[in-house]
Amino acid sequence: MSDLLTPTFISAFIIACLAGAIPLMLAAVGETVGEQSGVLNLGIEGMMLIGAYVGYVIALGSGSVWLGMLGGAAGGAVMSLVLIVLNVWLGLNQIVLGIAITLAGGGVTSVLYDQLYSKTAPRVPTNSLKIPGLSQLPVVGNSIFSQSGVFWVAIALAVVVAFMLKRTNWGLGIRAAGQKPSSLDTAGGSVMATRSQAVLLGGTFAGLGGAFLSVVATSAFTPFMTNGLGYIAIIVTMLSRARILAVGLVSLVYGATVAVGTVLQLTSLNIPTDLVTMLPYVVVMIVLLIFGRSVYISPVLGAPYTRGAR
Amino acid sequence: MATTEERTRAEGAPTATTAQRPGSEAAPTGAAERRHGVSALDMVVRSVLPIVLALAVAALILLALGKNPLAFYGSVIDNGIVGQNWQHSLVMMCPLLLIAIALIVVFRGQLWNLGYSGQFLLGGVVVAGLAPQLIAATSPGFAYVVLTLAAIAVGAAWTFIPAWLKARFGTNEIITTLVMSTIGIGLTNILVVYVFQDPAVQSPQTRAMDLSVELPYIPGTQVHIGFIVAIVVAIVFQFVISRTSFGLRLDVFGASPKSALHVGINSRRMTIVLFLISGGLIGLAAAMDILGQWGYMRTNWNPDYGDTIMPFVFLARLSPVGCIPFVAFYSVFATGGTIAAQETGLSVDFLRVIVALILVFMTITEYVGTKRQLGQSYLPDELKETVRRPLAALTRRSTAQ
């Protein structure tokens, strides 16, 4: 076991942990805003895949990780337009549309990747931002402080959203749209506009999360690479109950389990990887069983708002 | 190809439960249909139009990818129906139809069981793991019954925690079933490798059943009797839903759990019962599919029947018999489409895109149809206001001229 605690090993563990946590955190932050406004976005998986693919293509074409991330965000935002028009504006079923977006996102990216890149499978150039001074520190130096600059932007974005949601009028409007849309309507706000913004933000963040996964974390795209991460984001959102800090922490825990899985494959310990990948889900179910009562879900979550309807 | 079938079905369908949540729209829709008497044709249009639109858009996508859509669809029909290929499609119908009925039962109660993958695979792995030895030790007939019951029990058991959480605390069942599904998929892989692994092979898979002890064929065909089981289950559930007190209670519960409580229906028990039936049916589908078609199971195998059959369940307006033609259509499409995709050099995931398109067009068609029947504007109130003012200004100008 002693070889597990070398500095190189621990920094590799931290890198794997962050690579697993950041995409999830981004997606879950977006989902949090959506759910706070009363829209349960089940299509987040599809939006992430679109973001991952678009980000990958643009990063390949331009050679810039930053442009790739922007492209991924735009891809996710475009996918969320489907949900905005059909669900928020026309009031069509969120669950059916969410599943449709997930299917379409997975299908389209898989078909396109298969057509264009599967033979060569090119890789995106990596970039890392070594923070002067801090990156010289042992262990954390070449793990946390040598991450790509995108990493810091992702964290900054989460902080900004946390502030907006809790401390601004805009955030109050979002929360009102999810708690009691009729009161927002009465107060002169527009439920439709508020929810549209929230879903657009959610799609953008899901796209960012997907792009982080392909462009930064793995430097490559594989069909269905999110592998259920979108659904985990929904669960993280539910568990953290609108607190962005909790979203970040739960994502880190998830990242840690992913990293443990990777680590176990490297060691001689014979623990099935499926068991490790199952762990976060088992934990979620146990948490739900124990704290089932306290997991609060807005009563209007998933219901389109119709003015005057009871 | 099944227009007449669909027409009679649509006329015979007693209720039209919309895919939407129960609300202001559901009740008036039914009343409006009875008054105008155009419902049968309308229903057929609403059920078939999304598929036609989706296929048309998919054709455009194929064109954009530089493929010939006519060749693709021709190949789908070739490989899905022509010659002996229709038999493959019928074999595929068996699990799809059973899963469709499983979804119908919960959807009618306005509950979402999205954990079909986990339920299916767990039921399947139990069957695949135990079948070779059990059949060798006892008679095949006895083994089929025992294994099928085991799969039903496993499938049902896997829905219990989400069902209980929903009944007890109202925890969102969409999320819990998805979580349980993921756990089930992981557990299936572990079971295959550590419990049921075939010692004779290197790859992670269960011992394969002898072809001679798989479910017998329907005489004269190569379609196993699971197909008949699925059809019988569809008819039984159609009867239960439309002709028994349980069916009525189910519809009342689906329309509003609160009013169900007022007429003496135990909503909590109903929630759990519906989930157990749904999981059990998915277990049955797994048993039939493994015993009749595959004969073994390997890790990371997931046919993902549930995701792809879901739109057709809604198109059939949650009617078990009504969904037979839709399931038949999709079976042909999936059977032929898989080969057609390979032939045209496309990823098989192209089929997912088409299913997604059907879902989207279905919700749009439903929306437009409902609004038209109610004589309402196609725009929701809030959106209309932003459009109305400039429009009103325009019309004023035109009448003035």
- Per-residue pLDDT at A27: 94
Q: If contacts are CB pairs under 8 Å, which of residues 104-133 in chain A contact chain B? A: 104, 106-108, 110-111, 113-115
Structure tokens at B244: 């028994």
Interface with chain A: mutation pick from B181, B347, B365, B379, highest number of A CBs within 10 Å: B347
Query: Per-residue confidence of chain B (401 residues) as pLDDT tens digits?
Result: 444 444 433 333 333 333 334 333 333 334 444 444 457 787 788 888 988 999 999 999 989 888 888 888 988 888 888 888 888 899 999 999 999 999 999 999 989 898 999 999 999 999 999 988 898 888 888 999 999 999 999 999 999 999 998 888 887 788 889 889 989 998 999 999 888 888 888 888 888 888 888 888 888 888 888 999 999 999 999 999 999 999 999 999 988 888 888 888 888 999 999 999 999 999 999 999 999 888 889 888 888 898 888 888 888 888 999 899 999 989 998 889 888 888 888 888 888 899 899 988 988 888 888 888 777 777 666 666 666 667 777 777 666 55
Q: Which of A228, A237, A176 has the alpha carbon at shortest distance from A40?
A: A237
Test B169 with A307 for CB contact under 8 angstroms: no
B344 touches chain A (CB under 8 A): no
- Per-residue pLDDT at A135: 66
- Asked whether A13 and A259 are in contact (CB, 8 A), the reply is yes
Neighbours of B358 (CB within 10 A): 28
Number of A:B CB contacts under 8 A?
A: 162
Structure tokens at B111: 């509950």
Point out the residue among A89, A97, A277 whose CB comes nearest to the CB of B186.
A277
Which span out of A240-244, A275-279, A300-304 was modeled with the highest average pLDDT?
A240-244
Average of per-residue pLDDT across A256-284 = 75
Average of per-residue pLDDT across A214-243 = 84
- Asked whether B94 and B226 are in contact (CB, 8 A), the reply is yes
Q: If contacts are CB pairs under 8 Å, which of residues 178-197 in chain A contact chain B? A: 185, 190-192
Q: How confident is the model at residue A299 (pLDDT cuts 50, 70, 90)?
A: low
**Residue B92 — φ and ψ, nearest 5°?**
-70, -30
Q: If contacts are CB pairs under 8 Å, which of residues 28-47 in chain A contact chain B? A: 40, 42
Point out the residue among B168, B182, B351 whose CB comes nearest to the CB of A281.
B182
pLDDT at residue A203 above 80? yes
Closest residue in B to A101 (Cα–Cα) = B356
To the nearest whole number, what is the mean pLDDT of chain A?
83
pLDDT at residue A253 above 60? yes
- Per-residue pLDDT at B272: 94
Closest residue in A to B379 (Cα–Cα) = A90
Only one residue has tokens 């022509």, namely: B82
B372 touches chain A (CB under 8 A): no
B40 touches chain A (CB under 8 A): no
- Per-residue pLDDT at A309: 65
Interface with chain B: mutation pick from A87, A118, A224, A274, highest number of B CBs within 10 Å: A274
Average of per-residue pLDDT across A285-308 = 71
Range A262-284 burial, b when 16+ CB lie within 10 A, else e: bbbeeeeeeeeebbbbbbbbbbb
Structure tokens at A58: 């643009």
SS (H, E, C) chain B: CCHHHHHHHHHHCCCCCCCCCCCCCHHHHHHHHHHHCCHHHHHHHHHHHHHHHHHHHHHHHHHHCCCCHHHHHHHHHHHHCCCCHHHHHHHHHHHHHHHHHHHHHHHHCCCCCCCHHHHHHHHHHHHHHHHHHHHHHCCHHHHHHHHHHHHHHHHHHHHHHHHHHHHHHCCCHHHHHHHHHHHHHHHHHHHHHHCCECCCCCCCEECCCCHHHCCCECCCCCCECHHHHHHHHHHHHHHHHHHCHHHHHHHHHHHCHHHHHHCCCCHHHHHHHHHHHHHHHHHHHHHHHHHHHHCCCECCCCCCHHHHHHHHHHHCCCCCCCHHHHHHHHHHHHHHHHHHHHHHCCCCCHHHHHHHHHHHHHHHHHHHHHHHHHCCCCCCHHHHHHHHHHHHHHHHHHHHC
- Per-residue pLDDT at A202: 94
A147 Cα to chain B: minimum distance (Å): 31
Point out the residue among B179, B366, B382 whose CB comes nearest to the CB of A281.
B179
B368 touches chain A (CB under 8 A): no
Contacting residues of A for B179, CB less than 8 Å apart: 231, 235, 281, 284-285, 288
Q: If contacts are CB pairs under 8 Å, which of residues 144-163 in chain B contact chain A? A: 161
pLDDT at residue A292 above 50? yes
Structure tokens at B84: 């002996």
Test B359 with A293 for CB contact under 8 angstroms: no
Quote the ipTM score.
0.83
CA distance B151 to B145: 10
pLDDT in tens, A136-158: 666 666 667 767 778 888 999 99
pTM tops 0.90, yes or no = no
Q: If contacts are CB pairs under 8 Å, which of residues 94-113 in chain B contact chain A? A: 112
Test A107 with B351 for CB contact under 8 angstroms: yes
A274 Cα to chain B: minimum distance (Å): 5
CA distances from A35 to A31, A236, A246, A281, B145 (A): 6, 12, 15, 20, 45
B169 touches chain A (CB under 8 A): yes
Test B171 with A192 for CB contact under 8 angstroms: no
Contacting residues of B for A28, CB less than 8 Å apart: none
A101 touches chain B (CB under 8 A): yes
Test B367 with A275 for CB contact under 8 angstroms: no
Range B92-122 burial, b when 16+ CB lie within 10 A, else e: bbbbbbbbbbbbbbbbbbbbbbbbbbbbbbb
- Per-residue pLDDT at A227: 79
Test B363 with A275 for CB contact under 8 angstroms: no
